[in-house]
Structure formats: structure tokens, C-alpha cells
Amino acid sequence: MAIDTTSFERLVLGDERLRVFNDTVPAGILVVRVEDGGVLFVNRFFKEVLGMEGAGVLGDTWRELFVDPSDRERLMLSFVAEGVVRNFELRLRRPDGRHVWGLVSLADIPIEGEDLLLFAFVDISALKEAEEEIRKLANHDALTGLPTLRLFKDLFIEAASRANRNGGQFAILFVDLDGFKGVNDTLGHGAGDHVLQEMARTFLQCVRGTDKVARIGGDEFVVLCEKITRPMALKIARRIVEGAGSPMTVAGREVRIGASVGIALYPANGTSLDALMKAADDAMYRVKHSTKGAVAIADAPSRKIAAEGAPAG
């Protein structure tokens, strides 16, 4: 005779040890029929974590609980292969639409000749949130909120993959501030931090919505511009120079900084981030030492530097 939800719950609540286990174990427990995925039992902790009222999912199938259906498929494939599953990470869906991260174990518990699965779920949402915060801190500059070099490397890999598929090109702009050291030395590091924050906001306003701006250290920034022509790369670089040259008030004083920009194109000037950043950096420094607020582009294949002075105005 097939076990139904009522008889299984009566079995659990009728046994003192199982009843105590149901009320106190700090893990969500489901008992599921292998045949059709029907849920026979849900413990109190599972209902609390998933925000379920009353009987919860009793009588339903567990398929609706999974945020990603492929998680259930991979879980069952692991179970079939190993006979038991431990520490499997996945997300379950609450009735209010929110997602809950969990660490899952799965084992069979044949009862009265029927194949049943014991699904144990430990809520790790807080851990996942902490991991995400750590990733954010590692990938974003604490002062400006811009991506760090670590994240910029990932953005480059994605851009290179798209360019290779589509036969396109993109640009790397290397931006170095002019006169930043003087602000730091005369007005202090607090003023220098303010300048960097203002420059970050300015650069974001100068680029297109799809472009990526990162701070890679000190007063150095890089910009990744996908699906771009050489003239457009020069245009964006000139905007950055113009924006950086605008006066700003720092510590009650008006200061002018400025920026010099070097440009390298993928794949003409290289196919690795190191090669492109070196080409752009070399282009920028050659003109920076002779003309502040200049834009320079590295020409392939000899990487001859084509320099363009700062725009008038």
C-alpha cells in the first residue's frame, strides 16, 4: 500500500524520538517519493526557512521548489551515481519569490517497500551574502567604487571572446592624472582622495554606457571600450582629457588637475591585456613627458606613437 502524506506524518509525530527530531533539528527536511517526486513530509524548520504556511508543499511535487531545474537534475544524477549526496549547493524558491541558498544532502529511506528520498537542507544564505560582499570588496575599489584590476581582467577576457567571435575590435585607454601629486603634497591625502572620487565620477560621465572604467592603483585608470572605431576611441579619450581638466574645489581651494591618455586597440596592438596595457601606457607616457593633457594612440605593427594634443578650450 502506498504511503500518503497523512500516514507518513502520523508515523513521525507518533514516535517521540522522531517528533523531537522534527521539532529541534536545525535543518529543513523533506521526504519525497522517488516515483513521482511527491512530498510526503516537511519539517517545521523547512517551513520556517522557506516561509511556508500550514502544510506547505505537502501533496505537491518538489520540482516547484528549485530555482534552477538543472540543479535538481544534477542532484539526482549525483544520487544515482553515488547512492548518496552530501554538501550540494543549490537555491530553493520561497512562495514570495525570494531565493534561499542551501547546502543539501540526499539519501534513500525505503519504508514499507516504497522508495523514498530524505532531502536535508541547511540554509547558507547568510554565508552566500558574506561571500558576495567579499567578492565585491575584492573586485571594486573602496574609494571610488570602480572595478579593480582584478575585475577588469575578467571584463577583458569577456570582451576578447566577443571580439574573436564577431571579428570586432575594442580599445584599452590608459589614463594617468596630471598634477595629482601636487594636490596630495600640498593639501593632504584627504584632498587627494576627494580628487580621485571626483575624477572617477567625471570619467564615467565621459564614456559610453557600455564602456568599463577601472582604477588600477594610485592615480591610474583604465577604460575598456567595446565595438569601437579608432576615431571614436580618440573622441572618448579627448572627452576624458577635457573632463579631467575642469576646475574643482578641494579643501576650499580651486585646483586644476588634468589627464593624459594612451590608447591601444585589440587585436592590432596585442591580444593579451598585458600587451595592450603596455602599448597604451607607453603611448601615454611618451606624450605626457612633453605635452600635458595629450591623447596618444599606439599604431600597429611597430607601435609608432601617434600623438594628439589636448583639444582647445
- Whole-model pTM? 0.66
Find where cell 508543499 sits.
57
Peptide bond into 110 cis (omega under 30): no
Q: Which residues of the chain have pLDDT under 50?
A: 1, 301-305, 309-313
Q: Tell me, what's the pLDDT at 224?
A: 99
Which residue spans within 16-169 are E strands per DSSP?
A: 28-33, 39-42, 85-93, 99-108, 116-123
Here the cell at position 35 is 516515483
Q: Tell me which H or E stretch contains 308.
A: strand 304-308
Superfamily name with CATH number, domain 140-308 = Reverse transcriptase/Diguanylate cyclase domain (3.30.70.270)
Q: Do domains 5-130 and 140-308 have the same CATH topology?
A: no
Instruction: Reply yes or no on whether 115 is catalytic.
Output: no
Q: Using the 8-state DSSP alphabet, how is residue 63 labeled?
A: G
Q: Residue 12: what residue type?
A: V
For residue 38, the number of C-alpha atoms closer than 13 Å in the C-beta half-sphere is 13
The CATH classification number of 5-130 equals: 3.30.450.20
Residues 297 and 233 sit within 8 Å (Cβ to Cβ)? yes
Grid cell for residue 28 = 529543513
Any idea where the domains of the chain sit in the sequence? 5-130, 140-308
At residue 300, the pLDDT reads 59
DSSP characters over 223-284: EEEES--HHHHHHHHHHHHHHHTS-EEETTEEE---EEEEEEEETTT-SSHHHHHHHHHHHH
Catalytic residue, chosen from 123, 141, 211, 219, is 219
**Residue 54: predicted pLDDT:** 57
114, 3 contact by CB (below 8 A) = yes
pLDDT value of residue 308:
54
Question: What is the model's pLDDT at position 9?
Answer: 61
- pLDDT for 302: 40
Q: Cell triple for residue 89?
A: 549547493
